[in-house]
């Protein structure tokens, strides 16, 4: 059985089904009672599973994140949600010092099956501290996995994998994705972490993206067809561990690469992918690769400034055409 549901409801469905099949799963975080914070993703969870396992919290990001880590160390599978990525900056110690290092520094004696669920909530003139996309910070850290799915089908299957993973996983969510819907199987299923997917096959150039900008890339690929440009589009889904093979195989075929990341440019995911291409596909490139990212400035408030700040699908089309003109 499949049902057409949107991205937020796919998360909600995954949580309901996971909670009902495994009593060691718990969710903690600011706003799990409130659609203001978490949209429709947590609807019905408290009513069904109780306030012992679904915990709305005081505004104490550092301790709440550490509590999720401590619960995971002692036998729970915990999820901690931060309804704005910006808020998690209070909680870098439990994520980076503790969870990421834990299994290694304790010689494999202890695991931390925790999901750090971080929601990007940009746009709407929310300015610099409600808009940041900080996934690159986490991809820098050994011991963390970082996922950023873009479709309802993927988010459900990847959440199931992430919550059942015995390692800490950072789940980068984006409220801009919540409006998209598609058919999602009703039963539980897993999508492996660390595997990208080719959403569109093509020969002229490779476009790589993930999370919300993946949706923009899908639009751009259709637009490029009008110019007779056949783009191969890869949705990475997981950004660490990175599916290098899927990128290299495609670039080896097309010889051209556009990387689209809705976050900052310097030392970002796009820089890492560019470095991998330089190291492993140097002589395959027919044109310099290009990166389409946010400018290295904070997010503005005013809508006129937001308009030039965020990536649009027309920017992707333009960059692709320029690569082909080289």
Partner 1 sequence: MIYSKEILENLYLTMVKIRYVEESFIEPIAKGLIRCPVHLYTGQEAIATGLGASLSKEDYIFGNHRSHGHYIAKGGDITELIAEVYCRKDGCSRGRGGSMHIISPENGVMGIVPIVAGTISLATGAALSSKIRNDKRVTVSFFGDGATGEGVLYESMNFASLKKLPIIFVCENNLYSTHLPIDEIRTNRRIYEIAGPLGIKAERVNGNDVIEVYRKAQLAVEYCREGNGPYFIEYLTYRQRGHVGPDDNVQGTHTDIRPKNEIEEWLLNDPIIKMENIMIKEGGFTEYEISEMKKSIVNEINHFTDIALKSPKPPAEDSKMYLFYENEN
- Specify the stretch interacting with partner 1 by CB under 8 A; choose among 139-147, 176-184, 195-203, 219-227: 139-147
Q: Which of residues 58-87 bind partner 1 (CB under 8 A)?
A: 58, 60, 62-76, 78
- 13 DSSP 8-state letter: H
61 catalytic? Reply is yes
Q: Which of residues 13-42 bind partner 1 (CB under 8 A)?
A: 26
Asked whether position 109 contacts partner 1 by CB under 8 A, the answer is yes
Asked whether position 143 contacts partner 1 by CB under 8 A, the answer is yes
Q: Residue 67 or 221: which CB sits closer to partner 1?
A: 67
Catalytic residue of the set 61, 232, 272, 306: 61
| Residue 89 burial (10 A CB sphere; 0-12, 13-18, 19+) | middle
Among 17, 126, 164, 203, binds partner 1 (CB under 8 A): 164
Q: Could you tell me the smallest distance in angstroms from the CB atom of residue 150 to partner 1? A: 23
Task: Give the whole-angstrom CA distance, residue 291 versus residue 268.
Answer: 10
Q: Residue 111 or 287: which CB sits closer to partner 1?
A: 111
Question: Residue 277 CA to chain centroid, in angstroms?
Answer: 22
Q: Residue 163 or 299: which CB sits closer to partner 1?
A: 163
SS3 category, 20: helix
Asked whether position 194 contacts partner 1 by CB under 8 A, the answer is no
- 186 DSSP 8-state letter: S
Catalytic residue of the set 82, 130, 218, 232: 130
- The footprint of partner 1 on this chain (CB under 8 A) covers a number of residues equal to 45
| Residue 239 burial (10 A CB sphere; 0-12, 13-18, 19+) | buried
Is the link from the previous residue into 217 a cis peptide, with omega within 30 of 0?
no
Encoded one letter per residue, x for contact with partner 1 by CB under 8 A and - for no contact, window 84-103 reads ---------xx--xx---xx
- Specify the stretch interacting with partner 1 by CB under 8 A; choose among 32-40, 137-145, 174-182, 211-219: 137-145
* One-character DSSP codes across 188-204: -----TT--EEEE--SS
SS3 category, 95: helix
Encoded one letter per residue, x for contact with partner 1 by CB under 8 A and - for no contact, window 255-294 reads ----------------------------------------
CA distance readout (Å), 307 to 115, 176, 185, 287, 311: 32, 15, 36, 29, 9
Strand partners, 200: 233
Q: Could you tell me the smallest distance in angstroms from the CB atom of residue 72 to partner 1? A: 7
CA atoms within 13 A on the CB side of 250: 29
| Residues within the interface to partner 1 (CB under 8 A) | 26, 52-53, 55, 57-58, 60, 62-76, 78, 93-94, 97-98, 102-111, 142-143, 145, 164-167, 190
Active site residues: 61, 130
């Amino acid at each position: 059985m499949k049902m057409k549901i949107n991205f937020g409801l796919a998360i909600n469905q995954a949580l309901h089904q996971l909670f009902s099949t495994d009593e060691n799963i718990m969710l903690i975080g600011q706003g799990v009672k409130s659609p203001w914070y978490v949209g429709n993703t947590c609807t019905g969870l408290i009513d069904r599973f109780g306030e012992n396992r679904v915990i709305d919290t005081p505004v104490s990001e550092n301790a709440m994140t550490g509590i999720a880590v401590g619960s995971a160390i002692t036998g729970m599978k915990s999820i901690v949600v931060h309804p704005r990525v910006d808020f998690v900056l209070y909680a870098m110690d439990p994520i980076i010092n503790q969870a990421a290092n834990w299994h290694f520094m304790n010689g494999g004696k202890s695991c931390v099956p925790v999901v750090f669920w971080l929601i990007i909530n940009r746009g709407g003139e929310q300015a610099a501290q409600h808009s940041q996309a900080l996934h690159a910070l986490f991809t820098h850290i050994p011991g963390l996995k970082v996922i950023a799915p873009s479709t309802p089908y993927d988010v459900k299957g990847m959440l199931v994998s992430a919550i059942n993973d015995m390692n800490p996983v950072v789940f980068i969510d984006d409220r801009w994705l919540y409006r998209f819907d598609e058919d999602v199987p009703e039963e539980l299923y897993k999508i492996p972490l660390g595997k990208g997917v080719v959403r569109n096959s093509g020969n002229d150039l490779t476009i790589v993206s993930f999370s919300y900008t993946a949706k923009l890339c899908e639009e751009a690929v259709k637009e490029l067809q009008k110019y007779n440009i056949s783009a191969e589009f890869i949705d990475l889904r997981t950004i660490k561990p990175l599916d290098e093979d899927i990128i290299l195989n495609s670039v080896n075929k097309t010889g051209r690469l556009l990387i689209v990341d809705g976050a900052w440019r310097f030392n970002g995911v796009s820089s890492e992918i560019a470095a991998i291409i330089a190291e492993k596909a140097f002589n395959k490139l027919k044109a310099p690769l290009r990166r389409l990212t946010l400018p290295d400035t904070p997010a503005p408030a005013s809508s006129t400034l937001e308009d030039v700040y965020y990536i649009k699908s027309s920017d992707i089309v333009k960059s692709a055409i320029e690569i082909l003109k080289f």
